[in-house]
Structure 1
Amino acid sequence: MIDKKIIEQCLKNDKVSQKKLYDSLASKMYAVCLRYASKRVSADDILQEAFIKVFKYLPTFNFSGSFEGWVRRIVVNTALDQIKKYAEPFGDIDEASSDETLISVNDAIAQLSSQELFALIQSLPEGKRMIFNLYAFEGYSHKEIAQLLGISVMTSKGQYSKAKKMLQEKIMKINHISYEHK
């Protein structure tokens, strides 16, 4: 948790406090960056750009909510902005494809290390990975994701469903469990 004094000193451009703030949040925010970036160098760029924005917009933080949550939102938005620059547009999907029933792979997931699971998520195509991260890790609703990315709610649901299915297939393959496509 960031001390209010550190934030106040950062507002006065105190370099020592700025370093303390950065050091206290950088590793957590880097983990967020890695979920969105396909390469570590991209995650580094996202983190750097996000912290530039944090310090630029620090005067707008009103101390009413979680500072870490405020920073996380900046990091996620920075990652999304960078991805949007290079990403191909999402295609619309049929409503029926988002309603497909997905199999349970809880036992298979339990056998994976967190690094293996992270690598599988990173192997998803960029658009699906972005929506999966926003929904599963960041807690955004499909409506919020649709607004953020300029897509329909059904496209968000469909891309999430497809990402989840791709992960299930990869997990089943790793654990040598047969999987039937529906």
Structure 2
Amino acid sequence: MAESIEALVADCRRGRPAAQRALYERLGYQLMGVCLRYCPSREEAEDALQLTFVKIFTRLDQFRNQGPFEAWARRIAVTTSLNLWHQHQQRGLPLAIDEAHDVPAPGGTPLDQLSADDLVGQINALPPGYRAVLNLYAIEGYSHAEIGELLGISEGTSKSQLSRARRLLEARLHQQAHISRCHD
């Protein structure tokens, strides 16, 4: 039977490498998904994931068992990814976007035929600020006040960017569905 997260955390606090490896294996996939939502490329998401685990292991004393460990680790992954994104912007580097694979679903309306990869690709193609706010609000469940604090923007700007992101995403998805329908 697999060890509980609590037992793994206790063993990590005791400095046991096997527990660190087990915790990484248990949470790595989930946290990589978080990093991919905020980083402009898979390579940067992998860097963010590694930094996330370094922070987790070096800050275990800050985890006070006031909620699930997974939520605490997820918040570290979000802030680490956002910090890398901010550093990327400050250096003035172009934002690369990984391409999604097109595998349409059979049947249904043109919008129904868009695959999950199509949706992820369209989200990744949003301007970085829109993408970050959309992910933080719709996927991570942060409030606009929390998003404002994380991104260094006002609550109103967060609401505005979410609204614009939704409109742009909807327009792009309809356009992609229309193009797909025309090519069938």
Structure 2 length normalisation: TM-score? 0.81
Match of 1:11 among 10, 13, 27: 13
Q: 3-state SS of the aligned residue for 1:13?
A: coil
- Contact in 1 for aligned 2:5/2:69 (Cα 8 Å): no
Q: Distance in 2 between matches of 1:118 and 1:8?
A: 36
Shift in Å at residue 86 of structure 1? 2.5
- Contact in 2 for aligned 1:2/1:67 (Cα 8 Å): no
Q: Distance in 2 between matches of 1:110 and 1:136?
A: 20
* Cα distance change on mapping 1:109 and 1:140 into 2, 3 Å: farther
Q: Which one has more relative contact order, counting CA pairs under 8 Å at least 6 apart?
A: 1
- Contact in 1 for aligned 2:134/2:162 (Cα 8 Å): yes
Q: Distance in 1 between matches of 2:84 and 2:171?
A: 28
- Contact in 2 for aligned 1:11/1:58 (Cα 8 Å): yes
Q: 3-state SS of the aligned residue for 2:141?
A: coil
Gaps of 5+ in 1: 89-106, 178-182
Q: 3-state SS of the aligned residue for 1:110?
A: coil
Shift in Å at residue 151 of structure 1? 1.1
* TM-align CA RMSD: 1.7
Gaps of 5+ in 2: 91-108, 180-184
Shift in Å at residue 108 of structure 1? 5.7
The 5 A counterparts of 1:100-179 are 109-176=111-178
Shift in Å at residue 2 of structure 1? 4.1
- Contact in 2 for aligned 1:108/1:171 (Cα 8 Å): no
- For 1:137, give the aligned amino acid: I
- For 1:26, give the aligned amino acid: G
The C-alpha deviation readout for 1:100-127, integer Å capped at 9, x for no partner, is xxxxxxx665332211111111111111
The C-alpha deviation readout for 1:77-136, integer Å capped at 9, x for no partner, is 101111112237xxxxxxxxxxxxxxxxxx665332211111111111111111111011
- Contact in 1 for aligned 2:39/2:82 (Cα 8 Å): no
Shift in Å at residue 3 of structure 1? 2.9
- Contact in 1 for aligned 2:39/2:45 (Cα 8 Å): yes
The equivalent of 1:84 in structure 2 is 86
User: How many matched pairs?
Assistant: 159
Identity %: 40
Structure 1 length normalisation: TM-score? 0.82
